[in-house]
């Protein structure tokens, strides 16, 4: 498994010191296909069990999940799972679940898409397909959280996204935004009228044509001012929404944890 830090000098600092000095930086932690298979197998089997299989129950139905025989493939933007299942009615069958996700850091997120039902044994897919899809995705998210605590050895980071390249899946972590920070940020925006963050910049001007052109807003200088103010407000709103989303995401994870 590979740990990648944004700043090589930070390797000489403790995790807490680095987080304090680089609050907006991201960590990424990569796993190979074999490591992902081992990690997902561990997620599907209870920690107290030493078996290679587990029984799932839904209502009055049960299925044996042969987690020890789980197969995983990682391609560009896809993680594909082959899950062996067994019931009294079907004996052993396979469900193939492709999870579509981001393929680079810029588009990494905590969302994925998949087919309506897994491929493979039709009877198993109809009865257990949705459950298998959900358990694999939850297992992947839990594995990301586990890696941050075990390998990054910190609870001060939250999982922000996942992306995959051929034979490598990468978890992306960031510093969580807390309620007090969010309130302070919003108050500064409301009272000072500009973004208090490091990324504050003046809005770009818009060329509305020659001085003699007529527009609904009046003279060209007035148009530039109006559009510039509008762009500035939109940027402020986007930043506030993004930080609010991160804060809510962190809060939900804490409640569920």
Residue 205 lies in domain: 179-256
What pLDDT is attached to residue 234?
73
Q: Looking at the structure, tell me whether residues 79 and 92 fall in a common domain.
A: yes
Return the C-alpha torsion angle 137, 141, 143, 145, nearest 10: -170
Task: Choose one of 174, 195, 224: the last residue of a domain.
Answer: 174
How far is residue 176's CA from residue 42's CA, in Å, rounded to a whole number?
27
Q: Looking at the structure, tell me whether residues 44 and 123 fall in a common domain.
A: yes
Q: How many domains does the chain have?
A: 2
Of 172, 133, 153, the C-alpha closest to 27 is: 172
What pLDDT is attached to residue 178?
65
Q: Looking at the structure, tell me whether residues 150 and 200 fall in a common domain.
A: no
Can you give the pTM of this predicted structure? 0.62
CB-CB contact of 194 with 185 (8 Å): no
Q: Looking at the structure, tell me whether residues 98 and 170 fall in a common domain.
A: yes
DSSP of 115-160 = -SS-EE-HHHHHHHHHHHHHHHHHHHHHHHHHHHHHTS--SS-EEE
The enclosing H or E element of 30 equals strand 26-32
Q: Looking at the structure, tell me whether residues 161 and 107 fall in a common domain.
A: yes
Q: Looking at the structure, tell me whether residues 119 and 218 fall in a common domain.
A: no
Q: Looking at the structure, tell me whether residues 145 and 195 fall in a common domain.
A: no
Q: Looking at the structure, tell me whether residues 143 and 109 fall in a common domain.
A: yes
Return the C-alpha torsion angle 159, 145, 247, 231, nearest 10: 10
Going residue by residue through the chain, which has 257 residues, state the pLDDT in tens, using 9 for 90 and above: 333 333 333 443 454 554 455 555 678 889 999 999 999 999 988 776 677 889 999 988 899 999 999 999 999 999 999 999 999 888 889 999 999 999 998 889 999 999 999 999 999 999 999 999 999 999 999 999 888 888 766 667 888 899 999 999 999 988 776 677 667 767 777 776 655 455 444 444 334 344 433 334 444 555 556 566 666 677 777 777 777 777 777 667 666 65
Q: Looking at the structure, tell me whether residues 163 and 196 fall in a common domain.
A: no
């Amino acid at each position: 498994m590979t740990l990648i830090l944004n700043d090589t000098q930070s390797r000489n600092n403790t995790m807490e010191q680095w987080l304090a000095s680089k609050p907006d930086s991201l960590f990424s932690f990569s796993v190979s296909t074999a490591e992902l298979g081992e990690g997902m197998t561990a997620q599907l089997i209870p920690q107290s069990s030493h078996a290679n299989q587990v029984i799932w129950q839904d209502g009055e139905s049960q299925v044996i999940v042969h987690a020890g025989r789980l197969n995983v493939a990682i391609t560009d933007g896809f993680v594909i799972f082959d899950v062996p299942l067994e019931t009294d009615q079907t004996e052993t069958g396979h469900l193939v679940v492709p999870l579509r996700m981001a393929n680079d850091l810029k588009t990494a997120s905590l969302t994925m898409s998949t087919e309506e039902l897994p491929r493979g044994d039709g009877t198993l897919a109809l009865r257990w397909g949705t459950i298998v899809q959900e358990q694999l995705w939850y297992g992947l998210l839990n594995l990301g959280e586990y890696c941050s605590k075990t390998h990054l050895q910190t609870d001060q980071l939250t999982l922000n996204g996942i992306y995959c390249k051929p034979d490598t899946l990468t978890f992306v972590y960031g510093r969580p935004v807390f309620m007090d920070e969010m309130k302070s940020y919003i108050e500064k925006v409301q009272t000072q009228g500009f973004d208090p963050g490091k990324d504050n910049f003046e809005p770009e001007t818009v060329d509305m044509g020659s001085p003699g052109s007529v527009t609904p807003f009046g003279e060209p200088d007035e148009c530039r001012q109006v559009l510039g103010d509008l762009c500035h407000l939109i940027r402020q709103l986007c930043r506030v929404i993004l930080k609010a989303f991160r804060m809510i995401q962190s809060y939900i994870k804490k409640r569920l944890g």
